[in-house]
Structure 1
Amino acid sequence: MAENESNIAYLFKKLADGTASKEELAAYFELTKDNSLDDKITALMQAELKNNATPEIQDTERIDRVYNNIEAAIRVQQPAIKKSNYPFFKRWAAAAAILIVAGGLFYYSQNKPSKNNTQLVANDVAPGHQGATLTLANGKKIILTQAINGKLAKEAGVTITKTANGQLVYQVEGTTEVNKVNTLSTDNGETYKVQLPDGSEVWLNSASSLTYNTNLNENGKRMVSLTGEAYFQVAKDKAHPFIVHTEKQDVEVLGTHFNINSYKDEPAIATTLLEGSVKVTSGTYKQIIKPGEQAVNNGAGIKVAVVDADNITDWKDGDFNLNHVDFRVAMRKVARWYDVEVVYDKSVPEDIETGGWISRKQKLSAVLKFIESSGLVHFKVEGKKIYISK
């Protein structure tokens, strides 16, 4: 661990200065795959800015130079990245560049503070966290952030455990009973991960719920019901199809990775496939989609389009991917994660888009200042409300 931290510090310095060789660039991005180094990398970025910035205009020149060096590194490394690793590489490379630029803008604004930036910091909101409520078949509710690690309950031959890293795990032990239903639900500002009895894993986004039999089996099928948004990594079982039921559709798979967004405040249900194949059924409409495709169901039909999956699964990876995202869609993501209400002034256009990446671990003020740096909108925070004007 200590050796990796030393190596990442050395390589990051060369990356920021634009002196890294191809081999050193490859080594740097290989180390970024180690999630335990995330905090170290963020600290390196912040230190780089602090040590080299001054309250004069040269600050922005320094930021531009570091940003350009990272972009150059991306161009050098991109052809050598294997397709299977590219989404991860792209996320980290983009996040590196944006954290430096966002951090630089923050430093510059601190030295030349505006009334609006001061107001955003004064009314700041902490990011969301890992948390959920588990409702057992007998009606008992367990708030998982308060529950101790270890065995939580045993229902219908299934043991329910909370692991040390905060994951919920179901394990079948002996004969199981049917019609013992559990519900895992998250509030605004919460996410949670559950491993179902068949080994399938589900990441639940904010303001969402997943309902299922404790043994997962209904008439030979693996059945779950979803409201809100979740990412599914389904264990392969050709004999038992896995079906996700939402208010307007069913998604059937045998074993695959996919994301479903079924929030009631979104105009349609979006099913995005990353691996394998899925069948989306809504009334008489049926569509089979391939990896990289998204099925959008507005209740009047299902349309399929090729999409950038990174834009869809950003929340699972702890990011806001705002690149070419409808502004109001982006702000709904922000509102759910920070548990705030968004109020629009009439001056805000309906057809603007955001851009870039920023971590969901940042406080609300950092995210809003990052979006505001585009010059498209201005924010004011009062309590739990964000007021947006042109």
Structure 2
Amino acid sequence: MQTSRFSELFEGYLADKLTPKEMLELEGLIADENNAAQLRQLIGQEFKNEPTAVQQLDTDDNWLHGLEQKVLQTIQKPEPAKIISFHNEWVRLVGTIVLLVGLGLTVRYLVDNDTGAPKQATVLPGGNKATIRLDDGTQVNLSESQSEIVLGQQLAYADGSLVQGIAAENMSGRNMIIDVPKGGTYKIALPDGSKVWLNADSRLRYIVDRADEARNLELEGEAYFEVAHRYRSKGKEKILQPFVVRTPGQTIKVLGTSFNVTAYSGEPDRTTLIEGKVELSLPDGANRQYLKPNQQALIQGRTITIADVESSGFISWKEGTFNFSDESLDIMLNQVARWYDIDVDFTDPSLKKLKFEGIVPRYEKLESLLKILEKTSDVRFELKGRLLHVRKK
């Protein structure tokens, strides 16, 4: 975060000139404890522009006490037992704090806590995290400063730099697993030109180079695929080579297409077709079905149900947003938990079936995302360490 950007947004806010997107950006900056010193400075400067309020603070203790109470009543405390008090360094800023609270900005991180209780750590969104494992036991953590790995005779990042720790001679014809943990995501470029985006808590098994066989992958978790055409020669004939993705609940065969697969343990498998055509079936080959663009197959047990959907909403995760469309709260929070690497506890199981619809930025801090969800639902959240409690309002 650049100081000039924070100042620009702060001044634009006071002038009522921010767009909704800029408001969301400013709220995120204010909710970040790392920006507290900068915000103190901005509020202090603004307060200097209110000489009448300064004089009132100096001459009317009752007014100050009432103002403090107004702040305490307005701020939504992160913990029920937390007591917020004002030190001398904050006295000059109370007036502007009330102004900001009245206008709806989050300022609870701006006040100090005299109780000595530890502050709740900020839970940051996920980032580029993945591990590659070969069948000989070799394991390498991929760089978090990179976002894409290119598979081939050598392993390299998208910028051409080589992955350290795996020798080139170890690669040909070897099974490999790309493992993306909770709080991670990574893009994989396959040797045939196909591309895969792996979401958090996902694993992709791949055979590096077997030109005489179909392109086979095994997936647990969620991935978006863009499949390239690939041909192999059979005499004088060129045969289009299929691309096969297997999950515990289904087998998907494609010739050239883009689609999204969700296959997390405990949730129904979903295959959403963006473009092209896919054939899918149960793992034993039964119940063969075909998908057209903007259709989704839902696999529950041995039942496959196909429905028309707006497919773009199911791949928004790779573009940086959560896109929930009539989604149950338990499935929705499963996505949030995987991305922020947290656990979720429902105090009332009936809350799991609540429906939610909306688009939420995926790279907000968790606290900011939870505030958005609270405003649009009948639940409230309490975050204790990395455990999120879900309660009725």
TM bucket (normalised to shorter chain) is: 0.5 to 0.7
Task: Name the count of aligned residue pairs.
Answer: 302
Amino acid aligned to 2:252: V
Secondary structure of the residue that 2:10 maps to in structure 1? Answer: helix
Q: 1:251·1:281 contact (CA, 8 Å) conserved in 2?
A: yes
1-structure distance, mates of 2:11, 2:215: 55
Q: How does 1:1-390 map to 2 (within 5 A)?
A: 50-53=10-13, 66=19, 96=21, 99=24, 112-116=74-78, 118=108, 122-145=120-143, 158-164=153-159, 178=173, 180-217=174-211, 220-237=213-230, 239-266=240-267, 268-282=268-282, 283=284, 284-346=286-348, 349-390=351-392
Amino acid aligned to 1:262: A
Query: For residue 14 of structure 1, what is the aligned residue in structure 2?
Result: none
Distance 1:275 1:383, change over 3 A: same
Q: 2:297·2:304 contact (CA, 8 Å) conserved in 1?
A: yes
Distance 1:349 1:105, change over 3 A: farther
How far off is 1:136 after superposition? 2.2
TM-superposition CA deviations, 1:205-260 (whole Å, max 9, x none): 1111111111154x521111111110000001252100001112110001110000
Q: 2:258·2:274 contact (CA, 8 Å) conserved in 1?
A: yes
Query: For residue 6 of structure 1, what is the aligned residue in structure 2?
Result: none
Secondary structure of the residue that 1:220 maps to in structure 2? Answer: coil
Q: 2:155·2:162 contact (CA, 8 Å) conserved in 1?
A: no
How far off is 1:322 after superposition? 2.8
Tell me whether 355-364 or 327-336 shows the greater mean CA deviation: 355-364
Q: 1:135·1:184 contact (CA, 8 Å) conserved in 2?
A: yes
TM-superposition CA deviations, 1:49-89 (whole Å, max 9, x none): 622445xxxx9xx59x955xxxxxxxxxxxxxxxxxxxxxx
How far off is 1:380 after superposition? 0.6
How far off is 1:123 after superposition? 3.5
1-structure distance, mates of 2:356, 2:22: 16
Query: For residue 17 of structure 1, what is the aligned residue in structure 2?
Result: none
Query: For residue 11 of structure 1, what is the aligned residue in structure 2?
Result: none
TM-superposition CA deviations, 1:111-159 (whole Å, max 9, x none): 942113749x83320111101000124220010027999999x9xx822
Amino acid aligned to 1:201: K
2-structure distance, mates of 1:166, 1:227: 28
Q: 2:148·2:188 contact (CA, 8 Å) conserved in 1?
A: no
**Greater Rg, structure 1 or structure 2?**
2
2-structure distance, mates of 1:291, 1:147: 34
Amino acid aligned to 1:360: R
TM-superposition CA deviations, 1:178-210 (whole Å, max 9, x none): 4x1111111100111111111110001111111
Higher helix share: 1
Q: 1:167·1:193 contact (CA, 8 Å) conserved in 2?
A: no
How far off is 1:375 after superposition? 4.3
How far off is 1:343 after superposition? 0.4
Q: 1:132·1:144 contact (CA, 8 Å) conserved in 2?
A: yes
Distance 1:288 1:148, change over 3 A: closer
List gaps (5 residues or longer) in structure 2.
32-38, 40-70, 79-105, 110-118, 232-239
Q: 1:49·1:104 contact (CA, 8 Å) conserved in 2?
A: no
**TM, length-normalised to structure 1:** 0.67
TM-superposition CA deviations, 1:319-359 (whole Å, max 9, x none): 11134322111100110001000001117534322232222
Q: 1:348·1:389 contact (CA, 8 Å) conserved in 2?
A: no
Query: For residue 88 of structure 2, what is the aligned residue in structure 1?
Result: none
Query: For residue 24 of structure 1, what is the aligned residue in structure 2?
Result: none
**TM, length-normalised to structure 2:** 0.67
Secondary structure of the residue that 1:145 maps to in structure 2? Answer: coil
Distance 1:123 1:158, change over 3 A: same
Tell me whether 254-263 or 340-349 shows the greater mean CA deviation: 340-349
Q: 2:129·2:143 contact (CA, 8 Å) conserved in 1?
A: yes
List gaps (5 residues or longer) in structure 1.
1-38, 68-95
Amino acid aligned to 2:198: L
Amino acid aligned to 1:190: G
